A and B are shown apart, each in its own frame.
Chain A
Amino acid sequence: MSVLVDDDTRVVVQGITGGEGKFHAEQMMEYGTNVVAGAVPGKGGQEAAGVPVYDTVQQAVEEEDADTSVIFVPPAFAGDAVFEALDADLDLAVAITEGIPTQDMARVNKRLSETDTRLIGPNCPGLITPGEAKLGILPGNIFSEGNVGLVSRSGTLTYQVVDNLTNRGIGQTTAIGIGGDPIIGTSFIDALELFENDDDTDAIVMCGEIGGEDEEQAAAYIDEHVDTPVAGFIAGRTAPPGKRMGHAGAIVSGSGTGTAESKINALNDAGVPVGDTPEEVADHIEEFLG
């Protein structure tokens, strides 16, 4: 019923004593996520959101068997927090933080390639397996259990598309927000591979946006390796070239790649229908599922 996260996942929240960290640790637990500890330097021995806090992630691993971290650490320190999660040899680290300097992420990215930890984000809403667990800030109530996998670069766009699906009675296996920054851990291709190999996922939604070439690369991957039907959506068709549209990654260079058009064409060429509206994406998924 899920990829990456389920009700056995043992979560440590880095930054659990901060406003966001505490609030969302509680929200995650309310949803059923197994949050076992927090990690905040200098706050070891305290308790927050009803779980013990440790000074380091390593201690949370040793004392509470944590295998996954969700990171709510301010941008100036978040790169370091991700390094700490990687060095603690966790299975999964989810970085929610928005605004981590790109050069910090380049160094994280190098380290990531040398470890077995999977990173999701940064600047992402996290991921959710409806009915089992959520890691991050997604509003749990709009999701429902089902057989559609969803991967997206944008948080609120994920909510919109999920809402369109849920309203028609179409549930989700897992929804993954991979984040809108130029350098991220898990890519579209990684997520597509996970869904392709998941027996419970019968259709996939992929939400992209202008900037970079990740969607074009994902299209080529789908063409070669994905048999599960995929429907797409690309945000930013009307964005003017050269302007940064919110997400650090969402900028059109003006040199012919990274535009909505090139992404939509690449997906269409790989047999992926791309909706003009979120409703149309749901139409395609409904057709796939018969």
Chain B
Amino acid sequence: MKLHEYQAKGVFADAGIPTPDSQLASDVDGAVAAAEEIGYPVAIKAQVQVGGRGKAGGIKLVDDEDEAREAADSILGMDLKGYHVDSVLVEGAVDFTDELYVGITMDRGEGKPVAMVSTKGGVDIEEVAEEDPDAIAKEHIDPSFGMHPYQARKAVYDAGVDPAVARDVSNVLMTLYDLWEQKDGSDAEINPLMVTADDEVIAADAVMNVDEDALFRQPELAEMEAEAASTGDDLEQKADEYGFDYVRLEGNTGIIGNGAGLVMTTLDLVDYYGGEPANFLDVGGGAKADRIANALDMVFSDDNVESVVFNIFGGITRGDEVAKGINEALEQFDEIPKPVVVRLAGTNWEEGMEILNEDLVTVEQTLEDAVQRAVEYAEEVSE
């Protein structure tokens, strides 16, 4: 789960990290009023959860009211990399001399958190990591003790940060780690952390990604997620409501299965047999009939889908429950909207086959046959 910039900045500011004056606005007049109050120049920034907003025209620096009106008008309502812009953050522009990067993330290879500092801030830090990895100083943290101040200092000095601001930057890094830990962050980043001519540091951006699995103990953040969830793909939002792991793709063969590895394998086989996956939908472990019916409802609501392959290998999931769910979902139609191919294996698959209404679906015994059949159906429709 990713917080919006304005939300993350609020969290950072509350913890004592310096941030510019800013206000959220959802219409042009509100944005102009905010700019007048803050004082020009200001940055007007689209609040959508994608990277590279600046390059895509979602961030504009303005010097007066006319420019502010024009910028707010062009950004509000725009489609930014598939996301609708409903609000902008109006923020006092910072006159800076340097741009730093500071961040905390989980190094999965080490199984430990890592703090990172670089003097190459203000740009795509992943590119820096690839082209000039030595430009990012890294310090691994023992999660049972947290970050010691000396570790923050070490990262800051290793990165070659100007000694005049080293102390302030280490303080920001310490605070960032504490937030990351307290809020169950997966990533907490400031890029850029601007340094002014007066040797002050100020967070001009804020990124906070939170571990979805820990939201149960982060009620405040769960509320923020609900607030932020209004943007994005309608189908992915529906998947959230149903509680599915779902990813929408470009193709026309719908895919439903149990278990991430098996569903990914089904996608790969659709591709292997010359088809194009329309989605990834994992019903998870132990799905009951209603969940299976919801999964079919989801995939049918995607207009791109021309056929559906249902691939279940039961362990904890039972074939009879799956068959019941498929019947339930399909018996409500006078005419089945798209052909459905079913492959059932594992726990209770024989009971499932007895229950399954074979007038409504095509049954295949193996994964390979099921995928090939679904791809053929999708092709027939497209021709």
How many chain A residues touch the partner (CB < 8 A)?
A: 64
Q: Does A197 contact B (CB under 8 A)?
A: no
Decide yes or no: A255 and B130 within 8 Å by CB, A102-B213, A237-B268 being known contacts.
Answer: yes
Q: Interface-forming stretch among A5-13, A41-49, A243-251?
A: A243-251
Residues of A within 8 A of B213 (CB): 75, 99-102, 248
**Chain B window 267-283, contacts with chain A (Cβ cutoff 8 Å), 1 for yes, 0 for no:** 11111100001001010
Q: Does B264 contact A (CB under 8 A)?
A: yes
Residues of B within 8 A of A155 (CB): 259, 261, 285, 315
Residues of B within 8 A of A202 (CB): none
Q: Does B126 contact A (CB under 8 A)?
A: yes
Q: Does B260 contact A (CB under 8 A)?
A: yes
Residues of B within 8 A of A277 (CB): 269, 272, 367-368
Chain A 198-257 residues near chain B, CB threshold 8 A: 207, 209-210, 212-213, 217, 233, 235-240, 243-250, 253-256
Residues of A within 8 A of B109 (CB): 212-213, 217
Which one of B112, B126, B260, B285 lies within 8 Å of A245 (CB-CB)? Answer: B260
Which one of A20, A138, A156 lies within 8 Å of B258 (CB-CB)? Answer: A156
How many chain B residues touch the partner (CB < 8 A)?
A: 52
User: Bound state CA distance, A247 and B280, in angstroms?
Assistant: 12
Which one of A243, A246, A249, A254 lies within 8 Å of B263 (CB-CB)? Answer: A246
Q: Interface-forming stretch among A53-61, A62-70, A85-93, A105-113?
A: A105-113
Residues of A within 8 A of B313 (CB): 156, 159-160, 163
Chain A 117-157 residues near chain B, CB threshold 8 A: 125, 137-139, 142, 152-157
Closest to A98 in B: B285
Q: Does A182 contact B (CB under 8 A)?
A: yes
Q: Are B130 and A160 in contact (CB under 8 A)?
A: no
Which one of A106, A180, A260 lies within 8 Å of B261 (CB-CB)? Answer: A180
Which one of B112, B261, B280 lies within 8 Å of A157 (CB-CB)? Answer: B261
User: Bound state CA distance, A260 and B264, in angstroms?
Assistant: 11
Q: Does B225 contact A (CB under 8 A)?
A: no
Q: Does B186 contact A (CB under 8 A)?
A: yes
Closest to B111 in A: A109
Q: Are A278 and B268 in contact (CB under 8 A)?
A: no
Decide yes or no: A278 and B264 within 8 Å by CB, A139-B347, A240-B247, A256-B130 being known contacts.
Answer: no
Residues of B within 8 A of A239 (CB): 247, 264, 267, 280
Chain A 162-183 residues near chain B, CB threshold 8 A: 163, 180, 182-183
Decide yes or no: A247 and B106 within 8 Å by CB, A76-B217, A237-B268, A238-B267 being known contacts.
Answer: no
Q: Does A279 contact B (CB under 8 A)?
A: yes
Q: Are A247 and B261 in contact (CB under 8 A)?
A: yes
Residues of A within 8 A of B55 (CB): none
User: Bound state CA distance, A278 and B313, in angstroms?
Assistant: 13
User: Bound state CA distance, A105 and B214, in angstroms?
Assistant: 12
**Chain B window 321-365, contacts with chain A (Cβ cutoff 8 Å), 1 for yes, 0 for no:** 000000000000000000000000111000000000000000000
Q: Are B261 and A235 in contact (CB under 8 A)?
A: yes
Q: Nearest-CB distance from B261 to chain A (Å)?
A: 2
Q: Are B315 and A159 in contact (CB under 8 A)?
A: yes
Residues of B within 8 A of A111 (CB): 144
Q: Are A238 and B108 in contact (CB under 8 A)?
A: no
Q: Are B211 and A103 in contact (CB under 8 A)?
A: yes
Q: Are B280 and A246 in contact (CB under 8 A)?
A: yes
User: Bound state CA distance, A213 and B270, in angstroms?
Assistant: 25
Q: Are B261 and A76 in contact (CB under 8 A)?
A: no
Residue among B217, B264, B272, B346 facing the most chain A CB atoms (10 A cut-off)? B264
Which one of B260, B345, B347 lies within 8 Å of A163 (CB-CB)? Answer: B345
Which one of A98, A103, A243, A276 lies within 8 Å of B143 (CB-CB)? Answer: A103
**Chain A window 269-289, contacts with chain B (Cβ cutoff 8 Å), 1 for yes, 0 for no:** 000000011110000000000
User: Bound state CA distance, A138 and B268, in angstroms?
Assistant: 24
User: Bound state CA distance, A251 and B146, in angstroms?
Assistant: 27
Q: Nearest-CB distance from B252 to chain A (Å)?
A: 14
User: Bound state CA distance, A236 and B265, in angstroms?
Assistant: 6
Q: Are B264 and A236 in contact (CB under 8 A)?
A: yes
User: Bound state CA distance, A236 and B272, in angstroms?
Assistant: 12
Q: Nearest-CB distance from A141 to chain B (Å)?
A: 8
Give the top 8 A-B pairs by smallest Cβ distance, nearest first.
A154-B261, A246-B260, A156-B259, A157-B261, A156-B262, A101-B214, A235-B264, A109-B111
Beyond known contacts A157-B259, A240-B247: 20 more, CB 8 A cutoff = A103-B113, A104-B214, A106-B113, A106-B143, A110-B111, A110-B112, A137-B285, A155-B259, A155-B285, A160-B265, A160-B367, A182-B108, A212-B108, A245-B263, A246-B245, A246-B259, A248-B213, A249-B108, A250-B261, A255-B129
The contact sample of 25 A-B pairs, CB cut-off 8 A, is A20-B316, A102-B186, A102-B213, A105-B111, A106-B111, A109-B111, A125-B315, A139-B315, A153-B261, A154-B259, A155-B261, A156-B257, A157-B262, A160-B345, A180-B260, A209-B260, A209-B261, A212-B109, A236-B267, A239-B280, A244-B245, A246-B245, A246-B259, A255-B130, A279-B368
